[in-house]
Amino acid sequence: MKKTMNKICLFFFVCFFAVGIAQDDKKKNTEKDLKSSLDLTWEANQELSENEFVKAEADYRRAISKSGENVIAPYNLGTAYYKKESLEEAFGRFKQAGELAEAKPEKHKAFHNMGNVFMKNEEYAKAVEAYKEALRNNPEDEETRYNLALAKALAEQQKNQDKDGDKDEESKEDEDSENKGKKEQEDQQQDNKEKDGGEQEEDENKDGDGNEKKDQPKEGEKPDEQKQPRSSQLSPQQIKNLLEAMQNEENKVQEKMNEKKVKGPKSKNAKDW
């Protein structure tokens, strides 16, 4: 029984010892990774000071991937992006630094710069909240306090402009609706007028019995002659009558001509009264 208890105690001792060694190793590795990350951050800072942005960006990224405890690397990379006007990337790095930071001064700087990004993007209401968070971590910072006051003023102005814009939009919609109503009313009146005019013209073209009137000559115009329909063909009797009438006329003309020949020419001294 005593031997068994000794074995159990030895087992627990070995386990605790192993856990302790593992924790020490993990701590050593974490410290090693942090040191390597800080070294890369220092190199990136040097490269950035020499205007070698591409190299600096790469080393900052490597430093961030090496250790999750290095707050300086994402903050400095965010600052580099901010100076390059890469605001979206800058905000992401400042946010990362704020989440990693445990000390209040580091949190203050991260949220202050997040507020600056919001100001650049004209998101003044969000900037107000970021500056408030920065002041919670450092109430004595006068620059943050000034930026907060400015952000509040701009946020209020933006809010009023949005209200005025909404009013203008509503007024425009009401005006468009009113104009549309007037246009529809005018179109309806025009349709009714054309309809009434058409009916009146139709009534004028009909007589009292409702029959269509014949076209009447306009003032100053002569009425058209009433034309009788002609037959396209003549009967044999009609042809015969026409030939006889023509012959009779010819005979009369011949007789007159013969009479003139018998009488002779008129005397020059004679006057025709």
Class of residue 89 by CB neighbours under 10 A (exposed 0-12, middle 13-18, buried 19+): middle
Taking residues 19-31, report their average pLDDT: 63
Quick check: pTM over 0.85? Answer: no
Q: Which of 39-53, 156-170, 251-265 has the least mean pLDDT? A: 251-265
Q: Give me the residues paired with residue 206 across strands.
A: 212
Q: Which residue has the higher pLDDT, 1 or 62?
A: 62
Between CA 8 and CA 3 the distance in angstroms is 9
Structure tokens at 137: 């971590």
Look at residue 141 and give its three-state secondary structure.
coil
Paired residues of 212 in beta bridges = 206
Domains and CATH numbers, the chain: 33-155 (1.25.40.10)
Q: What is the pLDDT of residue 262?
A: 46
Lowest mean pLDDT among 62-76, 126-140, 200-214: 200-214
